[in-house]
Structure 1
Amino acid sequence: MLRYYKKTSLSLLLCFVVLITTACSSTEKATSTKTAGKLITNDNVPYVGFLLDTLEEERWYKDKQLFEEHIKSLGGQVKTLAANGHDAVQLKQAQLLIEEGVDVLVVVPHNAEEAAKIVELAHENNIKVISYDRLITKSNLDYYISFDNEKVGVLQATEIVKNTSKGKFAYIGGAETDNNAILFRKGAMSVLQPLIDKGDITLIADQYTDGWDPKVAEQNMKEALNKSSNQVNAVVAANDGTAGGVISALEAVGLAGKIPVSGQDAELNGIKRIVEGTQTMTVYKPINVIATQAAEMAFKVAKGENPKTDTTINNNKIEVPTILLEPTAVTKETIDSTVVKDGYLAKEDIYGK
């Protein structure tokens, strides 16, 4: 049944106080209890809950804005909450949205396995869950929408190998708790491993990055440089944030701009580094495409319809109905024909003109 509840600002404040207090003080499993006295304004308006891992990275603001705009344009209502990297908070936020009467949850999980608790909680309340960009694993997840994440890794490694096909390479990955990071590495290694087996490449570092934190990536790169006496010929970094950390480490030893470094997400800082020559490439995943298609999927699910999917992905429990979108490699030569052409980034912001 479609439900949308309006609450006063005071009650919202109280909910958030309870949310934060409970998330910080208890590790008990969340259970949903429908609260009384809520005002149901319109049973026919789909109400979508959007749970983000974080808003501490540039790209997620774009996802939030585009997703919310499209849900509203379809005639639905949406509420977005961000956990900023805390699993307990994300679970409590799911509980809050369920209690408010959402018809579907769309989730960007912080931890792929921990987020299975969100799916379980939602299903206890007859609410379906769509995993957005990152796969929720080991759960009876209803739907998944993302880009082809193995291909992301293939694009990264391929572009680096085009620049340097022999020597000492470092792989600086994302958070191991993020299933996407595992897929990025898998794709990259499908390109690198044959060259490692031939003896053309030596992998001097193969590190995941806790929390996708650029500072952790910088430290991992510093350790790789120390162990190799600063002898490194290329770095495959999993996204633009980790690339920034890697490049900071390279700058400290005079190697920034002298060896190829990959990235992902086409963040403004990453694109600027490509223009400057310290970063070689990024992977553009058009956020307007995933945000609008996810919104359309969520709107249909909220109305009790079954959205069309094009494949399935195994999440280590079931085959999840999935939509996979195509990522695009971006180099200095293709900035204008990709991120600028699409209006994703403004030319003046990139080039300062």
Structure 2
Amino acid sequence: MRARSRYVAAALVAALMTMSAAACGGREETHEDGFTVGLLLPGRVLPRWEQFDKPLIEKRLKELCPRCRTAYANADNDPARQRQQMTSMITKGVRVLILDAADPKVLRSSIEEAHQAGVPVVAYDRLAEGPISGFVSFDGAQVGRLQAEYLLRAMGDRAHGGNVVMMNGDPTDRNAAWFKKGALSVLTGKVKIDRSYDTQGWSTENAHANMSAALAAQNPERIDGVLAVNDAVAAGVISAFKGAHVRTLPPVTGQDADLDAVRRIVKGEQYMTVYKPFRAEADAAAAMAVTLGRGGDPRKLATTVIDSPTTKHIPSVLLTPRAVTAGTIEQTLVKDGVYTLDRICTRQLQGLPPCPGSRAPVGSQARDRPASRNGGDVRSAPRP
């Protein structure tokens, strides 16, 4: 399987390099090369969209097609608004669209409209319904598996027979089901899923309300771990535990490597997050969009095919996510230039690994050990 992954990664890198070479050399560009790419992102609840995805996609589009322009719109988590934005872009003559659908079902008619207008659509980060021309994301099943595997590691001897609460994503988003399926493939048969909640809108507030309900229905001391689908949900989970005056937090997972989540990991309130290297995703989406805008075949860039409820064999690029704990922040997020230690390490975090002043040696197992907010280890020992 690892050999297969290396082959797929090598093939993707080679395809992207070929795409870059075609943009910068070969035939001389004409005015026909200068077209507009529409970029539609779903909201601002997750910081990544505005902080990482947007600028990275725009930068790579300009590198691959210097004469190309980008039209950008953010739906602010309103599918109706995104439909209007998409219609406006089609009317104004964009040649190709990169779309992260706020609601894949609602946006289906807009994608059909784009198809009828001859505007190909690249689904970005989450699979959309309708006649899309390509899909770029991370392997959602692997995201869920990573969260579950690391949660079991953090639970210690409670990883067999312990109680887990699952805080899933928005049920309207196919990614939420993808993540959940991957997590359950690891957790089933090992732990008891005490409760499972869907989080409307992926919002911190709804996650807080759901976790508060779980704490009201169950003795908090009997909750051995929480599989939180992303960092926004994890924030709501942790605030609910604090609001219930729980002194020792169980391990909590996350996803997206939000800066606040990374700080929670350093502090010991959140055990891990799943980092999805944004640059690789942005590069693949930009390459596919430029290929389609020039009338090329996206299958030349694809590493696999995916079926949606409406479309079969969609040319797709599925990238590999990475787990991040306190012990691997430097080797992942800092090394990739996502954050610097200066930005991560607030004054309150000084002395906690990996922040300057830490007494723990770099790479020590102690830095991967989950900790409660009061400085002790996360509950993992047998209970009386």
Q: TM-score, normalised by structure 2?
A: 0.78
The partner residue of 2:204 within 197, 209, 214 is 214
Q: Which residue in the other structure is 1:235 paired with?
A: 226
Q: Does the residue aligned with 1:81 lie in a helix, a strand or coil?
A: strand
Number of residue pairs matched? Answer: 307
* 2:243 counterpart of 1:248: no
Q: Which residue in the other structure is 1:129 paired with?
A: 121
Q: Which residue in the other structure is 1:335 paired with?
A: 329
Work out the CA distance in 1 between the residues paired with 2:281 and 2:341.
23
Work out the CA distance in 1 between the residues paired with 2:115 and 2:127.
17
Work out the CA distance in 2 between the residues paired with 1:79 and 1:317.
27
Q: Contact 1:160–1:262 (CA<8 Å) still a contact in 2?
A: yes
| Runs (5+) with no aligned partner, structure 1 | 1-40, 196-200
Shift of the alpha carbon at 1:253? 2.7
The amino acid that maps onto 1:175 is: D
Shift of the alpha carbon at 1:174? 1.0
Q: Which residue in the other structure is 1:347 paired with?
A: 341
Q: From the superposition, tell whether residues 215 and 151 of structure 1 become closer, same or farther in structure 2 (CA, over 3 Å).
A: same
Work out the CA distance in 1 between the residues paired with 2:135 and 2:325.
29
The amino acid that maps onto 1:316 is: P
Q: Which residue in the other structure is 2:315 paired with?
A: 321
* 2:152 counterpart of 1:171: no
Q: Which residue in the other structure is 1:191 paired with?
A: 186
The amino acid that maps onto 1:225 is: L
Shift of the alpha carbon at 1:318? 2.2
Shift of the alpha carbon at 1:85? 1.1
Q: Which residue in the other structure is 1:66 paired with?
A: 56
| Runs (5+) with no aligned partner, structure 2 | 1-29, 347-355, 357-384
Deviates more, 1:211-220 or 1:55-64: 55-64
Shift of the alpha carbon at 1:204? 1.9
Q: Which residue in the other structure is 1:50 paired with?
A: 39
Q: Deviations over 1:25-44 (max 9, x none)?
A: xxxxxxxxxxxxxxxx9443
* 2:303 counterpart of 1:310: yes
Q: Contact 1:247–1:256 (CA<8 Å) still a contact in 2?
A: no
Q: Does the residue aligned with 1:174 lie in a helix, a strand or coil?
A: coil
Q: Which residue in the other structure is 2:88 paired with?
A: 96
1:111-130 aligned at under 5 Å gives the runs 111-130=103-122
Q: Which residue in the other structure is 1:108 paired with?
A: 100
Structure 1 runs (4+) greater than 4 angstroms displaced = none
Q: Deviations over 1:305-351 (max 9, x none)?
A: 11221111111122211110000000110000000000011111111
Q: From the superposition, tell whether residues 256 and 280 of structure 1 become closer, same or farther in structure 2 (CA, over 3 Å).
A: farther
Work out the CA distance in 2 between the residues paired with 1:344 and 1:219.
31
* 2:265 counterpart of 1:270: no
Q: Does the residue aligned with 1:113 lie in a helix, a strand or coil?
A: coil
Q: Does the residue aligned with 1:194 lie in a helix, a strand or coil?
A: coil
Work out the CA distance in 1 between the residues paired with 2:247 and 2:125.
31
Work out the CA distance in 1 between the residues paired with 2:192 and 2:320.
30
Work out the CA distance in 1 between the residues paired with 2:252 and 2:235.
9
Q: Contact 2:124–2:137 (CA<8 Å) still a contact in 1?
A: yes
Work out the CA distance in 2 between the residues paired with 1:338 and 1:100.
41
* 2:291 counterpart of 1:300: yes
Q: Does the residue aligned with 1:299 lie in a helix, a strand or coil?
A: helix
Deviates more, 1:238-247 or 1:309-318: 309-318
Q: Contact 1:55–1:84 (CA<8 Å) still a contact in 2?
A: yes
Q: Contact 1:257–1:278 (CA<8 Å) still a contact in 2?
A: no
Shift of the alpha carbon at 1:258? 2.8
Shift of the alpha carbon at 1:269? 0.5
Deviates more, 1:306-315 or 1:146-155: 306-315
Q: Deviations over 1:83-115 (max 9, x none)?
A: 111111111111111111111011000112112
Work out the CA distance in 2 between the residues paired with 1:48 and 1:256.
51
Shift of the alpha carbon at 1:73? 2.0
Q: Which residue in the other structure is 2:353 paired with?
A: none
Deviates more, 1:339-348 or 1:162-171: 162-171
Q: Does the residue aligned with 1:283 lie in a helix, a strand or coil?
A: strand
